[in-house]
């Protein structure tokens, strides 16, 4: 790696050089993406004042849920430099299974249905993983083949096993995933609890480091983050608690929001605070180093595929809930590309080793803003594809440039 | 050339350490032979590696240096011959067994993850946890302490990504990782290859520091300047045979070059 240029430097003035590296080396985290998000929101709001209405913002968040879940699913794989192109149909499979078995015809309890649906989606993911590690096949090809297989099997099930080519959602919990709301009081409880818990966790970590005599990042950064979180939470609560109903009043945060948030926090915790997460990053960064450190690299690859399938399955439950059912005409071949887009737009690297679970959340919201906003300013559906494609291309370009500048500067 | 060459300076190395009153070697190899099918990569190698000293292993490409360190590191099982650790016969034919004895190898590629910070790299595979949660505070404290003990002062923050470090700093991290895991013998493969002047000096200082802490260091190098700057002992390999070994005072650049290229030296040391 970069051995030829290392003779040029002699270890002087590292601070300015490192600062430059941090700047161009893609270490800005979410800041540029958030700026882009704000710019998009302002643009659409200026073009159509309905954009930031309570009803549309709520709708936008529900739209984003599927992209966020599929994006988080892809992050498990992208961290290892792998990809799963079948996740769109895997999500459809999980959603359809849940819809079918909770249908009046079978009438399973919701929890059993969710369990089976998620087990199937996780198993499909793990199967691709086994092909990739056992036969050393590229995941791109394995999951592309898998995409067709799952699509075919699902359409067969919808057409033949279940009558009439569609599975309507007839179960309350499944329907409530995207259609139910917290009461306004519980909305506030959720927001306040989130802010308080974040502050307590951050401050106790700060105190533990200080007690051990370690240097802390400047306190203002933590304060800025907490203030930003509080402002964002209060704004969300105000928007969600405003009446958005046309005939009867509808208020409160959709269940989907705290559920997505909870999964994101859990996944982030696993990635940042456990050996499991540390090893995924290590394998993504340098598989040979990970292997020499005694990490069972192949087993972790399969785990990543399994978690990708599982997460896509969770997304599928929300997807079928929002559509009110699943039929052979609910096309899904493009949704997986939105999933990759959500992860990459947020800042996850396609080359492995870099990414966080917060990235697809922001990326998914950006996609939803674009898709929702373009409809509101009455741009045709064909333009929607073009704009999304351009955004994805831009994100991948930034990723590639960040990587190249890192190598050049070393 | 195909005959194993023995000369005056090779013979005393087998018994010489006991006679001259040197401390008992940390690791002794006796009559190590390694064949890959019909190819004999190592022939009857006898080598003593004393604690607290830097032993430089030199020789031309294909002389068997890499095979020898792989035998020591437990990657290759010798075809015949014995290893003694502190005078006790050991097998250590797996990397794990060698690591448990306290043998750590720093390969040329260093095996670092550029996308992880220094602390994470130091502890990779050996993370400290509390109730299944990574104990970042404890790991960071010990990392800083280890680097300070080794007088590695060019690193600003142990939370820097390893990808942002210079070649010499990366070498230092790889060595510090071995030291932190209580390595008693650190094997370094071409540690100064492709390093600049200042960084080479830093790495050589680090090697000296290791030896002064009682750690045995076995360095493979092509750079005779570095070898004579840092080594206490020299071992020369030629065509799979250890043709000469002894204190660095017994050699000069001319005799070392002659031994590397021909396997013998006409000069009296």
Q: Is A14 on the interface with B (CB under 8 A)?
A: yes
| Residues A159 and A189 reside in one and the same domain | no
Q: Look up residue A286 and give its two tokens.
A: 């340098």
Residue B109, min C-alpha distance to chain A (Å): 8
Yes or no: say if A355 and A405 are a contact pair by the CB < 8 Å rule: no
Straight-line distance from the first to the last Cα atom of chain A, in angstroms, rounded to the nearest whole number? 9
Q: E strands, A276-366, where?
A: 325-327
Q: Which residue has the tokens 């456990």?
A: A274
Confidence band, pLDDT 50/70/90 cuts, at residue B17: very low
Rg for chain B, CA atoms, rounded? 19
Task: Find the mean pLDDT for residues A291-315.
Answer: 95
Whether residue B196 and residue A14 make contact (CB cut-off 8 A), yes or no, is no
Q: Which residue has the tokens 């052979």?
A: A328
pLDDT in tens, A336-363: 888 888 999 888 988 899 999 999 999 9
| Residues A143 and A59 reside in one and the same domain | yes
What is the sign, positive or negative, of the torsion defined by CA atoms of A6, A8, A11, A12? Answer: negative
User: Domain holding A51: CATH number?
Assistant: 1.10.3470
pLDDT for the residue A162? 64
Whether residue A11 and residue B116 make contact (CB cut-off 8 A), yes or no, is no
Q: Is B198 on the interface with A (CB under 8 A)?
A: yes
Give the one of B115, B125, B133 whose C-beta lies nearest to A285's C-beta: B115
More confident site: B18 or B201: B201
Domain boundary among A232, A251, A270: A251
Q: How big, in percent rounded to 5, are the helix, strand and coil portions of chain A?
A: 75, 0, 25
Instruction: Give bridge partners of residue A254 from the DSSP assignment.
Output: A181
Whether residue A212 and residue B168 make contact (CB cut-off 8 A), yes or no, is no
String of DSSP letters for B97-111:
HHHHHTEEEE-TTTT
Residue B117, min C-alpha distance to chain A (Å): 10
Q: Which CATH code is given to the segment(s) B11-102+184-262?
A: 3.40.50.300
| Residues A141 and A275 reside in one and the same domain | yes
Instruction: Give bridge partners of residue B49 from the DSSP assignment.
Output: B27
**With a cut of 0.90, is the ipTM above it?**
no
b/e per residue, A359-372, with b = 16+ CB within 10 A? bbbbbbbbbbbbbb
Instruction: Give bridge partners of residue B39 from the DSSP assignment.
Output: B36
Residue A360, min C-alpha distance to chain B (Å): 19
Indicate whether A13 belongs to any domain: no
Q: Is B1 on the interface with A (CB under 8 A)?
A: no
Q: Is B212 on the interface with A (CB under 8 A)?
A: no
% of chain A with per-residue pLDDT over 70? 90
In chain B, where the domains are located: 11-102+184-262
pLDDT for the residue A409? 47
Tell me how far apart the alpha carbons of residues B91 and A239 are, in angstroms, rounded to a whole number.
71
| Residues A212 and A133 reside in one and the same domain | no
| Residues A135 and A245 reside in one and the same domain | no
| Residues A169 and A270 reside in one and the same domain | yes
Whether residue B141 and residue A294 make contact (CB cut-off 8 A), yes or no, is no
Give the one of B126, B138, B154 whose C-beta lies nearest to A11's C-beta: B154
Residues in chain A within 8 Å Cβ distance of B198? 10-11
Residues in chain B within 8 Å Cβ distance of A215? 157
| Residues A280 and A395 reside in one and the same domain | yes
Tell me how far apart the alpha carbons of residues A379 and A386 are, in angstroms, rounded to a whole number.
11
| Residues A385 and A298 reside in one and the same domain | yes
Residues in chain B within 8 Å Cβ distance of A354? 115
Indicate whether A96 belongs to any domain: yes
Task: Please provide the average confidence, as pLDDT, over all residues in chain A.
Answer: 87
Tell me how far apart the alpha carbons of residues B156 and B266 are, in angstroms, rounded to a whole number.
50
Q: Which residue has the tokens 């009153």?
A: B21
Domain boundary among A251, A266, A300: A251
pLDDT for the residue A393? 86
| Residues A263 and A330 reside in one and the same domain | yes
Give the one of A1, A11, A410 whose C-beta lies nearest to B199's C-beta: A11
| Residues A299 and A169 reside in one and the same domain | yes
Domain boundary among A229, A251, A273: A251
pLDDT in tens, B67-111: 999 999 888 899 999 999 988 899 888 888 888 899 998 888 888
pLDDT in tens, A361-403: 999 999 999 989 998 988 887 887 788 788 778 878 877 777 6
| Residues A52 and A87 reside in one and the same domain | yes
pLDDT in tens, A239-263: 999 988 888 889 999 999 999 999 9
Give the one of B116, B137, B163 whose C-beta lies nearest to A281's C-beta: B116
Domain coverage including residue A99: 30-180+254-402
> Which of B124, B145, B159, B174 should be substituted to probe chain A, the one whose Cβ sees the most A Cβ atoms within 10 Å?
B124
Instruction: Give bridge partners of residue B54 from the DSSP assignment.
Output: B217
Indicate whether A6 belongs to any domain: no
The number of domains in chain A is: 2
Tell me how far apart the alpha carbons of residues A37 and B110 are, in angstroms, rounded to a whole number.
41
Indicate whether A20 belongs to any domain: no
| Residues A173 and A187 reside in one and the same domain | no
């Amino acid at each position: 790696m970069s051995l030829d240029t290392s003779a040029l430097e002699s270890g002087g003035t590292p601070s300015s050089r490192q600062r430059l590296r941090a700047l161009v080396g893609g270490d800005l985290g979410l800041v540029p993406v958030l700026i882009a998000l704000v710019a998009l929101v302002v643009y659409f709001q200026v073009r159509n004042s309905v954009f930031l209405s309570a009803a549309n913002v709520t709708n936008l968040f529900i739209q984003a849920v599927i992209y966020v879940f599929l994006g988080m699913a892809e992050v498990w794989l992208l961290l290892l430099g792998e990809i799963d192109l079948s996740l769109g149909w895997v999500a459809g499979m999980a959603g359809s299974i849940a819809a079918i078995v909770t249908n009046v015809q079978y009438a399973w309890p919701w929890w059993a249905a969710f369990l089976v649906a998620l087990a199937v989606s996780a198993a499909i993911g793990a199967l691709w993983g086994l092909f990739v590690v056992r036969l050393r096949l590229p995941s791109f090809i394995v999951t592309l083949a898998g995409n067709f297989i799952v699509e075919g099997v699902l359409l067969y099930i919808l057409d033949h096993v279940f009558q009439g080519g569609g599975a309507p959602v007839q179960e309350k919990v499944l329907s409530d995933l995207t259609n139910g709301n917290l009461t306004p009081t519980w909305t506030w409880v959720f927001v306040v609890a989130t802010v308080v818990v974040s502050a307590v966790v951050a401050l106790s970590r700060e105190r533990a480091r200080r007690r051990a005599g370690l240097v802390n990042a400047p306190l203002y950064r933590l304060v800025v983050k907490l203030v930003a979180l509080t402002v964002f939470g209060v704004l969300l609560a105000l928007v969600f608690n405003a009446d958005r109903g046309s005939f009867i009043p509808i208020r409160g945060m959709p269940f989907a929001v705290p559920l997505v948030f909870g999964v994101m926090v859990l996944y982030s915790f696993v990635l940042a605070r456990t050996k499991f997460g540390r090893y995924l990053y290590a394998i993504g960064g340098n598989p040979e180093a990970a292997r020499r450190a005694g990490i069972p690299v192949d087993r972790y690859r399969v785990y990543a595929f399994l978690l990708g399938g599982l997460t896509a399955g969770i997304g599928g439950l929300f997807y079928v809930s929002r559509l009110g059912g699943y039929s052979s005409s609910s096309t899904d071949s493009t949704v997986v590309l939105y999933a990759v887009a959500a992860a990459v737009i947020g800042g996850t690297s396609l080359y492995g080793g870099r990414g966080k679970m917060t990235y697809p959340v922001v990326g998914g919201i950006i996609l939803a803003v674009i898709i929702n906003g373009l409809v509101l300013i009455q741009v045709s559906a064909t333009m929607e594809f073009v704009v999304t494609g351009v955004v994805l291309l831009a994100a991948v370009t930034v990723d590639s440039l960040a990587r190249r500048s890192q190598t050049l500067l070393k | 050339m195909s005959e194993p060459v023995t000369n005056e300076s090779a013979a005393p190395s087998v018994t010489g350490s006991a006679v001259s009153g040197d401390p008992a070697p940390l690791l002794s190899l006796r009559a190590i032979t390694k064949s890959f099918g019909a190819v004999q990569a190592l022939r009857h190698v006898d080598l003593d590696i004393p604690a607290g000293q830097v032993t430089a292993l030199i020789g031309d490409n294909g002389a068997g240096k890499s095979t020898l360190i792989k035998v020591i590191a437990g990657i290759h099982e010798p075809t015949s011959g014995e290893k003694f650790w502190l005078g006790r016969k050991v097998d250590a034919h797996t990397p794990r067994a060698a690591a448990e004895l306290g043998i750590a190898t720093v390969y040329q590629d260093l095996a670092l993850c550029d996308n992880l910070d220094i602390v994470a790299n130091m502890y990779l595979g050996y993370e400290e946890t509390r109730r299944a949660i990574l104990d970042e505070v404890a790991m960071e404290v010990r990392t800083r302490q280890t680097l300070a003990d080794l007088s590695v002062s060019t690193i600003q923050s142990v939370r820097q990504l390893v990808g942002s470090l210079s070649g010499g700093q990366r070498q230092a991290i790889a060595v510090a990782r071995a030291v932190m895991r209580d390595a008693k013998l650190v094997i370094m493969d071409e540690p100064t290859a492709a390093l600049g002047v200042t960084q080479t000096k830093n790495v050589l200082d680090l090697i000296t520091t290791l030896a002064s802490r009682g750690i045995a260091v076995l360095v493979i190098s092509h750079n005779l300047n570095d070898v004579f700057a840092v080594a206490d002992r020299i071992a020369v390999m030629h065509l799979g045979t250890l043709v000469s070994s002894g204190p660095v005072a017994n050699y000069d650049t001319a005799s070392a070059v002659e031994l590397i290229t021909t396997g013998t030296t006409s000069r009296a040391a």
